[in-house]
Structure 1
Amino acid sequence: MDSLPLDHPRLKKNNFDLLRLLLASTVCLVHAYEVSDFAQLATLAGILSSKVAVQGFFVVSGFLIVMSYERSSSLKSYASKRVRRIYPAYFTVIILSAVFLVLMSQKTVEEYYSLAWLKYLVANLTFLNFVQPSLPGVFDANKFDVVNGALWTLKVEAMFYMAVPVLVYFFRRFPRLPLLIVIYLLSIAYSEFLLSASGRTGVEFYSRLARQLPGQMCFFMAGATLFYYLKFFEQHIKAFTAAAAVILVVDWVVLPLPWLQPAALASLVVFFGLFLYAGNFGKYGDFSYGVYILHFPILQLLLNSGWFAERPWLFLLTTIGLTAVGAVLMWNLVEKRFLLRSSHYVAAVEASEDKLTVRQPASLSAE
């Protein structure tokens, strides 16, 4: 394997926590405009791209999840870590929405807790958000009645988790690089075929299918490839990053380069994640997941209230504040409690607490 040793300091000290927080925040800011349609917030969608942010998430997952599997002592250990990391907070958001949004519903309590409510609960708890994205009578007056439009990526993420053991099995038994390249190219071919079909027929369903797992696998594979060939990437990092920057500028400004864009984006994501260390942003926890899964229902609730109809900037600031508070609470009350003590987040927090205890006077330590 041309990657760095799994205990290499570069893999331990990285910017991926910061990067995920920036990506989640980007999705939040873009959704603030798309969900509200406030013209004053249009600049957010003009400067930022939630699509690219989600693609960046998938690149990070490809790098880190494959590394997690390679580090795991068994399939059971790997599965336990993945379930502990993603599901408790996800479960909490779904349950809180299903139980308490009755207060926002235009239906009676009896009409709310109906078969449609049960369908929402079952579908969303099993990552099948598209089956029932709305709750009875909830957000009917908003632009969208979807409770949490950001959750579709969690289905893709969960499928990545399940695919990794199978992928690594073949990577260990057959030439790895050709397999990585073939899967990457097939993923793009799938997406391009469906997008072309959507353009020819005008059927939006094809473009929605293009966003699903086969179509997003190219970003995951690009991240996984850079994990496996990290030494080579580091040896030629200037060439990789320069070429990636040119490709992305051409893709965004001149003409689409769908066959190169995932690899270019992955190169810059991993470069920022590993080679420009900005400090330990996971010291007090990873709030990015909370930001991602909480911001959409918060946006919907604020719009539903009607208080911000003429106050777009107050709407944005309130969204940011409530999402930040919710993410901190989600981390401390839910996410952290399900992580193993070997998790680097738990270790970082405990190390920080130990240092604080040493520096405090004895009387404060006793308190």
Structure 2
Amino acid sequence: MDLLPLDHPRLKENNFDLLRLLLAMAVCLVHAAELSGFAALQSLSGVLSAQVAVQAFFVVSGFLIVMSYERSSSLTSYTSKRLRRIYPAYFTVVILCALGLVLVSQRPLQEYFSLAWLKYLAANLSFLNFLQPSLPGVFESNRLAAVNGALWTLKIEVMFYAVVPILVYCLRRFRRLPVLLLIYCLSVAYAELMTIVAAHTGGGFYERLARQLPGQLSYFIAGAILFYYLPFFERRVGYFVAIAAGVLSVNFLFPLPLLQPFALATLVLFFGLFLYAGNFGKYGDFSYGVYILHFPLIQLLLNTGWFIERPWFFLLSAVSLTLVGAILMWNLVEKRFLLRSSHYVGATTQAETGTPVKQPASL
């Protein structure tokens, strides 16, 4: 089956920028409720799900990153695009936290800049934040001492980036659909096995293993399947959406682990590719900044102790600071590392000059 042309209507005009921003904001709101523990905000955790939002992020990545590799002229080109998109902002956040949070540390200066500080820097800069999630004396009076608990998903994302060239090689060498379905099923089986073992042993270790790449790969693969078979999906989109909605409804009462990832992917990509809502990438993509900045900003606000009696003012402050930080991160860091061929460079040109610039989906 041939790949979709770059001028395919669904790839030129889509809602991925808006979708990712909404997902990032959902994670921000849930973390604000969970980290604060404010009773007035607990309804947010009932209405929104950070877990589902992260899974939806993985679906979008599965679609766009596989497309990025298929459209890249070489492995070097693909690697360059991925590094430019994800690492500059990530590096900036880690360094800002490592240097700036000394101001709120409860430890003396010499104890802050210690071996633990170096371990934090090394672990987080290499996407291994689970090895050292906290800094000396920082946020110790908060409900959770972790500096940036949202970064665990970036490790999975980077591992998926590394897997994609191998995946595509297998898809080109063997029959595409059987390979994709096999990987999808193995991923679901792994996650279920770890969940069962965790339930019998009471070990959180196995729950964490279930959340890692083998267990999350089904969401990436579901996105990749819909990329490769988008024309088929388009022709039968009504059936796909109706069945997916039914599966997810039943999943609330009776877990359907084999079907849930693909059902979620169907609804996510239906929103991303259909019912075009406008060019939300015109002024940039702030979703990544929202995602990697919100956690430490929430922790900082809670650390002040100012918001104990003002939960809604706390939430407004957290959201406002996160959005401002994301806008600054985009303009000062992220877009400066993008290639001129980037979707966002073209979108910015269109916004500034009024000249239409046709671009494929965000890569």
Aligned residues: 355
Whether the 8 Å contact between 1:244 and 1:268 is mirrored in structure 2 is yes
Deviations along 1:50-107, whole A, 9 cap, x unmatched? 0000000000000000000011011000000000000000000000000010011010
TM-score by length of 1: 0.96
Whether the 8 Å contact between 1:104 and 1:138 is mirrored in structure 2 is yes
- Which AA in structure 1 matches 2:159? M
Q: Which residue of 1 aligns with 2:317?
A: 318
Q: Which residue of 2 aligns with 1:349?
A: 348
Q: Which secondary structure state, in structure 2, belongs to the residue aligned with residue 172 of structure 1?
A: helix
TM-score by length of 2: 0.97
Q: 1:229 and 2:216 equivalent? A: no
Q: Which residue of 2 aligns with 1:5?
A: 5
Q: Offset of 1:145 from its aligned partner?
A: 0.3
1:162-311 to structure 2, matched below 5 A, reads 162-252=162-252, 254-311=253-310
Whether the 8 Å contact between 1:3 and 1:231 is mirrored in structure 2 is no
| Distance across 1 between alignment mates of 2:236 and 2:149 | 39
| Distance across 2 between alignment mates of 1:201 and 1:179 | 33
Q: Which residue of 2 aligns with 1:92?
A: 92
- Percent sequence identity over matched residues? 70
Whether the 8 Å contact between 1:2 and 1:231 is mirrored in structure 2 is no
| Distance across 2 between alignment mates of 1:312 and 1:262 | 34
Runs of 5+ in structure 2 lacking a partner? 356-363
Q: Offset of 1:41 from its aligned partner?
A: 0.3
| Distance across 2 between alignment mates of 1:296 and 1:12 | 33
Q: Offset of 1:2 from its aligned partner?
A: 5.7
Deviations along 1:206-234, whole A, 9 cap, x unmatched? 00110000000000000000000001111
| Distance across 2 between alignment mates of 1:13 and 1:159 | 28
Q: Which secondary structure state, in structure 2, belongs to the residue aligned with residue 332 of structure 1?
A: helix
Q: Offset of 1:8 from its aligned partner?
A: 1.1
Runs of 5+ in structure 1 lacking a partner? 357-367
| Distance across 1 between alignment mates of 2:6 and 2:151 | 31
- Which AA in structure 1 matches 2:147? V
Q: Which secondary structure state, in structure 1, belongs to the residue aligned with residue 354 of structure 2?
A: helix
Q: Which residue of 1 aligns with 2:138?
A: 138
- Which AA in structure 2 matches 1:280? N
| Distance across 2 between alignment mates of 1:107 and 1:128 | 24
| Distance across 2 between alignment mates of 1:7 and 1:187 | 33
The CA RMSD measured in Å over matched residues stands at: 0.9
Runs of 4+ in 1 over 4 A off after TM superposition: none
Q: Offset of 1:329 from its aligned partner?
A: 0.1
| Distance across 2 between alignment mates of 1:9 and 1:244 | 23
**1:226 to 1:238, Cα distance in 2 relative to 1, 3 A:** same
| Distance across 2 between alignment mates of 1:83 and 1:128 | 16
